[in-house]
Structure 1
Amino acid sequence: MQIKYIVTSVFLLFFLSSWNSGDKKVINIAGDWTVALDSTDIGLKNGWQNTAFKQSMKLPGTTDDAGLGVPNKLKPSIEKPQMSHLTRKNSYLGAAWYSREITIPKNWKGKEMLLKLERVLWKTNVWIDGKELETEQNSLIAPHYFDLSKYLIAGKTHRITIRIDNRKLFDISVDNMAHAYTNHTQIIWNGVIGKMEIEAFDAVRISNLQIKPEISSGTAQVKLALNNNTNKIAKGILKITAVNKKSNIPVATLQKDIQVKMGKSVIEVDYNMGKDVKLWSEFSPELYELKAELNAAKNTLTISADFGMRSFSKKGSVLTINNRPVFLRGTLECDIFPLTGYAPMDKEGWRKVFGTAKNWGLNHLRFHSWCPPQAAFEVADEMGFYLQVELPVWVLKIGEDQKTTDFLYAEAQRMIDEYGNHPSFCMWSMGNELQGDMTVLTKLMNSLKAQDARHLYTTTSFTFENGHGKWPEPEDDFFITQWTKQGWVRGQGVFNSESPNFNKDYVASVEGMTVPLVTHEIGQYAVYPKIDEISKYTGVLDPINFKSVKEDLERKGLINKAADYTQASGKLAVILYKEEIERALKTAGISGFQLLDLHDFPGQGTALVGLLDAFWDSKGLISAEEFRAFSAPVVPLMRFAKATYTNNESFTASLDISNYAESNLNNQEIEWSISDGNTVIASGNTKATIAIGYNHKVLDLNESLQKITKASKLTVKVNLKGTSYKNQWNIWVYPQQQTIDYGKVVYTRNLDEAYKLLNAGKKVLLNPDWKKIKGIEGKFVPVFWSPVHFPKQAGTMGVLCNPSHKALDHFPTDMNTDWQWWDLNVNSTTLIMDSVVGGNPIVEMVDNFANNRKLASLFEGSVGTGKLMIASFDLSTDLEKRPVAKQMLISILDYMNSSSFNPDTIKNPDALKLILKEEKEKAKEGATSIY
């Protein structure tokens, strides 16, 4: 096709002055509407099609916003209805009717008129003056459009009536958990939440514009859908111009004579972007606006769209952006907006989401089982975020219902038409954890691939389907999983069963992988509810789940512990998220991670797995700057064998650097140090060139620990001088030559013997066999996801202690679990101390918020004239090979032999008989037992 270019200085001046003038003819029908709820479906029968109702409300908005529906009657209680998710203050499910009058401008005579309703749940029908339109709409992700041309008369006033039915229309999810239609995150609202407008068009017009960038040729393939509703072919002139939105400088004008066939047709042209084309990426989110102007049938119509010149692709098992390797640092967005119960439809609301994610070092968001609105794409385009978007489906029987399959095909087409141009729309999954007939998914995916090559595709975001999920489907462009046929690719499966080892990666699990792999929903480490968050819920949702926990704590006299529970469990989650991310970064063959989640998920059993709350605000567990140390374009990564050492050993490590920045870091100076917080034990620096990609063994360390003469926590720090990139790790060092001195303390493993010794006025260290006593399995990792959603797990949430307690004088620790606690935690049984009156816990375990019990693994109390210390972790086995247990024992004994050991009286010591009752040894819980 011969393309003619016309570029003149006169045109450029005209273009710059008129680009934003706009000539759309639009009536905004937002505002006051009348409304009637119709839960019993009597509206049609009673002629509501042409009625003004007594109740009024604002649209855009929802019945929840207006306070309509069934008021909540649930009271706080630790029960599933209260704890499943946030509670709607007013709920409504069924049909609702909305009505108002509209006046059509006189100059719209002969125009086609299109009604747009942006974001509706689920089905809409429309009447004009009581006459029903022939079509109905049912999209969950795209605007509902209606052609009103036959029903409206220019210069006249009409009544428009909309019936919206938010009842489930297709089987798109199990228990309504897909986030396009759920009460777990957003709510199943009724109303319209986006733009509401009627637009007038000429009989010949451009109905859709799609732009495919080709960076290799510097062109944009422009595809125009044309409508000609006259009875003859229309001759016209098509002009296409793109302008850089940052500089406001146009590229060039393409002008072409065309013929517009009657009915619907498509025309495609190649548009040359010129020599100075700017590419879009996270580092330079350069946007262009392409404007197509059609002069035909004595009218001029313009249509425009934003796009970016970018190629999001793959090279073997590596994801690329514009032919450079990219590593996705991502989290999920599951339609969590707890003030409204629905996604923001304006850019400002999305700037909070993407701005916070960017500040915390992320470059990627996955939209789990839903597609966000236009405003989200626009902000992601502007900020340079790589988005994974999904069809609104999460089912275990894919392909069984043909109507649902047809609906998914239709939704996919609407996603292409509405959002396909956005450069941030990089990845497309058919849905979340889909099961059933996988060939149906492959067929759907391939049909989209053939139609739209601007995105990478995968059949599903992980699956538990037998025979699938452990390796990519044959035609996947990328693969999302938590494990492969060769092993785990996330820490959930290993952190509790393997002692801490920071040499670990997932290379063996991804060996032979032929497409990029992104780790699925890593983390899911529950954090105790932040009780003072309750006051933030000022919208349509009531945090009865939080209130239930608060009331339970108050009833049990534990409310003063709530803030500590949040901090202790949250700081444990921080160290686990850090290691999750670093193991992914250390693995050549992994192209990214998707956290679940950086922010809280208030549904599915109150899954508070975030370091941020549901409002994208910090919980005070770690700062954004600290988090960016291990989640940034460039991350120093230390490989070392273990977390705990004795001082006759050396700290041996090697430094790797993950570099997914724009360019190499040439001759980069690298500084490192090891310190105890006050004194630098060792330090050094070197220079190296850090290439784009993964850089292995940039630096080796081998430092003697002999200088450490007392039990100490050391911090290893690495800094790339002159940059913001740095990272750090904790290790613990204990003196090797130490004698265990029991002094006046008597050690026993038998409760009856302990009673005799206490009655004789002795100091007793009771250390029962942890494998045999009653209690909760000792674990290093906290509750997975939610103790309500997954109630079969052991379910504690980490250590809580006072580091300044004298019993811990020689056992360096923070108030929370860190890696040095691994041995003690996994070789223990957590004691349930609710029935004990008196005494004091020294090392508590935070219980999960579905139980809120008093838990301990180190407890002291006086019994008669004796003094008792109970330790439910192993302080007897192979102590010379277990320096942490040995150090804990030494610290406990030093305290017990001092004058400081004067614990409160246990008023009911016989309660210990039930607490420490021997039971049959139980098998340890496996990583997948939660399922």
Structure 2
Amino acid sequence: MISLEGEWKLQLDMGKQGLLLPYSDVITLPGTTSHARKGPMNEEVLVSALTDEYRFEGHAWYSKEIVIPEELAGTTCYLYLERTRLTTLWLDGQEVGSRNSLNTAHIYELTGKLRAGTQTLTIRVDNTDYPTKGGHLTSPDTQTNWNGITGRIELQFYSESYLSGIWLEPDLSARSVRITATLEGTADGTFAVSASSFNSLTPHSVPEREFTISPGEFTIDYQLDMDALLWSETAPNLYNISLVLKDREGETVDRNEQVFGLSEFKTDGDKFTINGEKTFLRGKHDGLIFPLTGYAPTDVEEWLRILGISKSYGINHYRFHTCCPPEAAFTAADMLGIYMEPELPFWGTITEPTDEGHNQAEQDYLVSEGYAILQAFGNHPSFVMMSLGNELWGSRTKIDSILRDYKAFDDRHLYTQGSNNHQWVPEVLEHEDFFCGVRFSRERLFRGSYAMCDAPLGHVQTDLPGTMKDYDDQIVPPELQNENSVDAEAGGTIQIQYGTEAKTVQLGGTSGEWIPKIPVISHEIGQYATYPNYEEIGKYNGPLQAENFKIFRERLESNGLGHLAAQYFESSGQLAVACYKEELEAAFRSRRLAGFQLLDLQDFSGQGTALVGILDAFMDSKGMITPEEWRTFCSDAVLMARFPKYNYVAGERFSASVELSWFRSGTPGTLELHWELTAPGGILAEGTAEADVPAGTNYIDICQLAIDLPAVGSMTQAALNLKIAGTDIRKSYDLWIYPEKSGAGLGGIRVFEELSDEAFVLLEQGENVLLMPKPESLHNAVEGFYSTDFWCYPMFRSISESMNKPVPVGTMGLLIDNSHPVFRDFPCEQHSTYPWWSIIQNSKSIILDGTSREWSPIVQTIDNFERNHKLGFLFECRVGAGKLLVCALDAGKAGETPEGKQFLSSLAGYMTSKEFKPQVEASRAELLQLIQ
């Protein structure tokens, strides 16, 4: 091998006019033009994604002189370009050929073309006019449409006889590996195989065995012995398999080292299995977002860091959205025990030749990319699943035929038709091994949150918070458990979200109520947005700049709210974490679900800027939650309690069933649960419970808790703490207990639903007034919505408008001045917590744009970075000689709950106290302008 890394001549040809000599610049490869800051600076600033400072699209010409030693001239040789775009190669001015794979290496045979001495390689890289759009391989939303060559760049030389096309197929039951390869050349040879373990606690080696082989394809079975170590997420044992080719005289003529993992990733009913044991996929989406380079790393060390961070948060599965990562990612996943699912770079419609707009060339290209991915990376034990694309529409027959052909070609992996295909009318296809989606029909939802344009919304967004939710009845409805399906016509058209836009598509065929017979994975769950962290801007010191963050910050500052940015970030983040906990636990409680794929553990830099991660785009923590705490609801063993609500009245009975989702290797014979209910004053109740666990059980019902809650003199926050003795398995839930009598409510308080003349007269006379307008009567206000925004407001606002559907509320929780005396009887955090749910859901927040910075709401609703309204749910001011407290709440509905009663009582207590001293004065005209 001769490495070609280093300095290359460079000529940028944006207009595709052809190579202009002499070359005007140089560049170091591997790398990209953007990362090397070559070409004119990009004057366009993106709001919806990161800005590539030196974006170049067109032809880039790279040239390098190579020196071929005498002994290598005339031998078999290949040029290997690990990852690039569309390439064309010239050798000494003579065109050799072109390659177009976006997912796998570009390999050019140079046999017979090289001579001893100096020759010139010229490579033209084109990052335009792709055979397909390329999904997240080329998107500005993720790694950018870069131009260059990344990874290994080398000349590979071979002797007269060598091995090619090496294919490893594990046989778990026989504890062996089937090796298929081709002996290139004309002479017979001896094939010696040996294996030794690495990445394992227990060393294991297998003696060398020799086989006689002839030119052409051959297959041999190499026995590892029954003590062979198995590969899995919990014990990613690997082997170095040494493949040595010897000539007739016993001299080594070719040596190949292959990494191998003995494993079997299969399905068993509604679950996946690894080596015969059931597993639950705890997945994340990945779009190859790397802000410091703009392209995916090709070194194993960086992927070990990235995947290791994810694993520390309980992740055991990666779904690559319309992309396939470089080989280093699979190598790192082999070492860490991560189940990988690459996906074809397609997000569109699969058509038949007779369909309008059919593009056979594109389909042929996509299918060929799939075969290339299987051949290039299929030996990796971590490569266990494959998807045909993201949210595909079109011909189910054609999609299924592609699956059939892939499975016939390579049955080492499990296949799915795509991620969330035919979104509203999904069906399981004959040749797919697992199903990935968000619903089976309009009402059979198995995800916790949805976009408004994709309504109905999910339980995390709309339901009273509790821990009862699971998706078992959505996966197998009780009325369908007799397995008799009821078909419903689904012809015609429907308008759907299609990428970042809206599109009308044919439904086609029929679809109805059906029961999946294969494992079901919930697609792109979560998507709970947090407000930007503007301190992050300084981290963007590569080719990608956070100009979008700067624009968002300027918008906030222009509305006089810049001083609140850090608090917006922290408070919205805490709400997002609570939403994720609720969503993930619903998945772990669902005994018919096979796994989930988060979108995402990290922020997504594009599509409007979707800051949905608990990690930023660099995979750094945002400080919202520790990995240890996150793993209490995202791990191979998750302890949970089922109870209907978080708010209780003193003396009420708290009832909960405690259960354990268990997907660790082996099953404990018995479990001992320690539980306690604590409050600031000490332990309110505690106990233990034991449960016998049948072998092979994944869902364990441990016990029922029934606790009569004690009398309390004031609103009290309690914590239910659960722990399995002798393990790291634990869980904590916050509960709130309210006094049986929470005061006189609003008795004795002057309450008005509108700013009437009478209200102003009282204020002028020095009275205290509570303005509680009916939320539905307000126009200059934003609807109350407890959950944080889905994905990001600008993207789904635009899609909803184009579909003539209601736009999302777009808010991101509360920012609460919790030290304010109004909360003397309603103690709370600075961010949204469950006592606020019934209050906020029955409210609106008034738009206070243009008011002074000093007039800061006591409870402010955090708006999104596009709109940046100053939103007041609870605020106060002086009016004349009087004092006014404003709260746009339906007191009747809120007062039906103990937390609502407590809140109203706390308002009344504050207004009748000496502490009711608003600092800001407002005029009648100003108030009438705001409160409409």
Per the normalisation by structure 2, the TM-score is 0.90
User: Which of 546, 550, 566 is the aligned partner of 1:547?
Assistant: 550
1:678-729 CA distance string (max 9 Å, x none): 4111111122244554334311111111333311111111011221111111
Do residues 458 (structure 1) and 416 (structure 2) align?
A: yes
Structure-2 residue corresponding to 1:925: none
Name the SS for the 1:425 alignment partner: coil
Question: Is 1:146 matched up with 2:120?
Answer: no
Q: 1:745·1:762 contact (CA, 8 Å) conserved in 2? A: no
Equivalent residues in 2 for 1:430-469, closer than 5 Å: 430-465=388-423, 467-468=425-426
Whether 1:713 aligns to 2:717 is: yes
Secondary structure of 1:350's counterpart equals: helix
Partner of 2:33: 63
Of 383, 387, 395, which aligns to 2:340?
Answer: 387
Displacement after TM superposition at 1:744 (Å): 5.4
Cα displacement (A) at 1:442:
1.3
Aligned residue in 1 for 2:246: 295
Residue number in structure 1 paired with 2:159: 202
Alignment match of 1:328 (pick from 264, 270, 281): 281
CA distance in 2, matches of 1:858, 1:721: 45
Q: Which amino acid aligns with 2:561?
A: L
Which residue pairs with 2:237 in the alignment? 286
In 2: Cα distance, 1:684 partner to 1:214 partner = 48
Distance (whole Å) between structure 1 residues aligned to residue 58 and residue 626 of structure 2: 44
State the one-letter code of the partner of 1:68. Answer: K
Alignment match, 1:250? 205
Q: Please list the CA deviations of residues 40-66 of structure 1 after superposition, one character each: whole Å capped at 9, or x if unmatched.
A: 22225xxx5xx6613011000110122
- 1:182-221 C-alpha deviation (Å, 9 max, x unpaired): 1111011111111000011123321121111111111211
Q: CA deviation at 1:844?
A: 0.6
Amino acid aligned to 1:653: A
Equivalent residue, structure 1, for 2:72: 108
Q: Aligned residue for 2:831? A: 816
State the partner residue of 1:16: none
Report matched runs for 1:56-205 at 5 Å: 56-74=26-44, 82-121=46-85, 123-133=86-96, 135-153=97-115, 155-172=116-133, 178-205=135-162
Instruction: Provide the rounded CA distance (Å) in 2 between the counterparts of 1:873 and 1:69.
Output: 57
Matched, 1:418 2:423: no
Q: Could you tell me how far apart the structure 2 residues matched to 1:343 and 1:641 are?
A: 45
User: 2:168–2:260: 8 Å Cα contact kept in structure 1?
Assistant: yes
Taking structure 1 as reference, are residues 757 and 877 closer, same or farther at Cα in structure 2, changes over 3 Å only? farther
Q: Which of 214, 228, 244 lines up with 1:277 in the alignment?
A: 228
Are 1:771 and 2:776 matched, yes or no?
yes
Which residue does 1:581 correspond to in 2? 584
The AA in structure 2 aligned to 1:138 is N
- In structure 2, the residue corresponding to 1:414 is in which secondary structure? helix
CA contact (8 A) 2:285 2:597 kept: yes
CA distance in 1, matches of 2:879, 2:546: 43
Could you tell me which of 839, 849, 856 is aligned with 1:834? 849
Deviates more, 1:597-606 or 1:403-412: 403-412
* Secondary structure in structure 2 of the residue aligned to 1:820: helix
Alignment of 1:14-33 (within 5 A): 26-33=1-8
Whichever residue aligns with residue 910 of structure 1, its letter is A
- Residue 268 of structure 2 is matched in structure 1 by 315
Query: What CA deviation, in whole Å up to 9, does each residue of 1:823-871 have, x standing for no partner?
Result: 1111111211113345431111000011111111111111111111111
Within-5 A mapping of 1:627-638: 627-638=630-641
Match of 2:643 in 1: 640
Kept in 2: contact 1:436–1:465 (CA 8 A): no
User: What amino acid sits opposite 1:280 in the alignment?
Assistant: W
1:210-609 paired onto structure 2 within 5 Å: 210-228=167-185, 233-246=186-199, 249-260=204-215, 265-296=216-247, 300-397=253-350, 400-465=358-423, 467-468=425-426, 471-485=427-441, 487-492=444-449, 493-511=458-476, 512-609=515-612
- C-alpha deviations, 1:212-253, integer Å up to 9, x for none? 11111112111113333xxxx422212222221246643132
Q: 1:902 to 1:456 in 2, by over 3 A?
A: same
Cα distance in 2 for partners of 1:90, 1:158 equals: 31
Runs of 5+ unmatched residues, structure 2: 353-357, 450-457, 477-514, 798-806
Return the offset for 1:533.
Answer: 0.4
**Partner AA of 1:456 in structure 2:** L
The 10-residue stretch of structure 1 (638-647 or 737-746) with the greater mean CA deviation from structure 2: 737-746
Matched residue, 1:41:
16
Structure 1, residues 96-129: CA drift from partner, whole Å, max 9, x if none?
A: 00011000111113311100001102x1011111
Structure 2 contact 723–729 (Cα < 8 Å) conserved: yes
**Which among 851, 854, 865 is matched to residue 881 of structure 2?**
865
Gaps of 5+ in 1: 1-25, 75-80, 918-931
Per-residue CA distance 1:74-107 (angstroms, 9 max, x = gap): 4xxxxxx632100011110000000110001111
Q: Deviations over 1:851-904 (max 9, x none)?
A: 11111111111111111111112223372x322211110011111111111002
Rounded Cα–Cα distance in structure 1 between residues aligned with 2:662 and 2:95:
60
1:626 Cα deviation (Å)? 0.8
Task: Establish whether residue 913 from structure 1 lines up as the match of residue 928 from structure 2.
Answer: yes
Q: Do the aligned residues in 1 keep the contact of 2:746 with 2:904 (CA within 8 Å)?
A: no
For residues 525-583 of structure 1, the C-alpha deviation after alignment (integer angstroms, 9 at most, x for no partner) is: 11000010011011001100111122222223322211110111111110110011100
Percentage of identical aligned residues? 36
Q: What does residue 920 of structure 1 align with? A: none
Displacement of 1:668 in angstroms is: 2.5
| Deviation (angstroms), 1:342 | 0.6
Go from structure 1 to structure 2 and tell me whether the alpha carbon gap of 1:720 and 1:119 turns closer, same or farther (over 3 Å shift): same
Tell me which amino acid in the other structure corresponds to 2:210. Answer: Q
Instruction: Report the residue type matching 1:161 in the other structure.
Output: T
Deviations 1:297-318 (A, max 9, x none): 8761122311111010011111
Instruction: Return the alpha-carbon distance in structure 2 between the equivalents of residues 422 and 741 of structure 1.
Output: 66
Question: Is the alpha carbon distance of 1:616 and 1:678 closer, same or farther for their aligned partners in structure 2, counting shifts above 3 Å?
Answer: farther
Number of residues of Structure 1 aligned to a counterpart in Structure 2: 863
Question: CA contact under 8 A between 1:320 and 1:326: conserved in structure 2?
Answer: yes
Distance 1:280 1:679, change over 3 A: same
Equivalent in 795, 799, 808 of residue 810 of structure 2: 795
Quick one: distance in 2 between partners of 1:464 and 1:810? 51
Sort the Cα spacing of 1:892 and 1:668 in 2 relative to 1 into closer, same or farther, 3 A. same
Structure 2 residue matching 1:403: 3-state secondary structure: helix
Name the counterpart of 1:6.
none
Pair 1:249–1:902, CA change in 2 (3 A): same
C-alpha distance in 2, partners of 1:82/1:183?
9
Following superposition, the deviation at residue 397 of structure 1 comes to: 4.9
Task: Look up the equivalent residue of 1:315 and give its one-letter code.
Answer: D
- Name the structure 2 match of 1:929: none
Which amino acid is 1:187 matched to?
T
What is the rounded CA distance, in whole Å, between the counterparts of 1:334 and 1:455 in structure 2?
21
Native 8 Å contact 2:715 2:825 kept in 1: yes
Describe the superposition over 1:253-303 as per-residue Cα deviations: whole angstroms up to 9, x where unpaired: 23221221xxxx321111111121111001110101222222248761122
Summarize deviations over 1:441-473 as a string: whole Å, max 9, x none: 2111111111111111100111245532xx422
Query: Aligned AA for 1:411?
Result: E
Matched-pair contact (CA < 8 Å) for 1:659–1:690? no
Do the aligned residues in 1 keep the contact of 2:183 with 2:214 (CA within 8 Å)? no
Using the TM superposition, give the Cα deviation of residue 161 of structure 1 relative to its aligned residue in structure 2, in angstroms: 0.6
Give, in angstroms, the shift of residue 666 of structure 1.
2.9
Equivalence for 1:11:
none
Q: Separation in 1 of the partners of 2:855 and 2:425?
A: 54
Name the structure 2 match of 1:4. none
Contact 1:34 1:52 in 2 (8 A): no
Distance 1:878 1:200, change over 3 A: closer
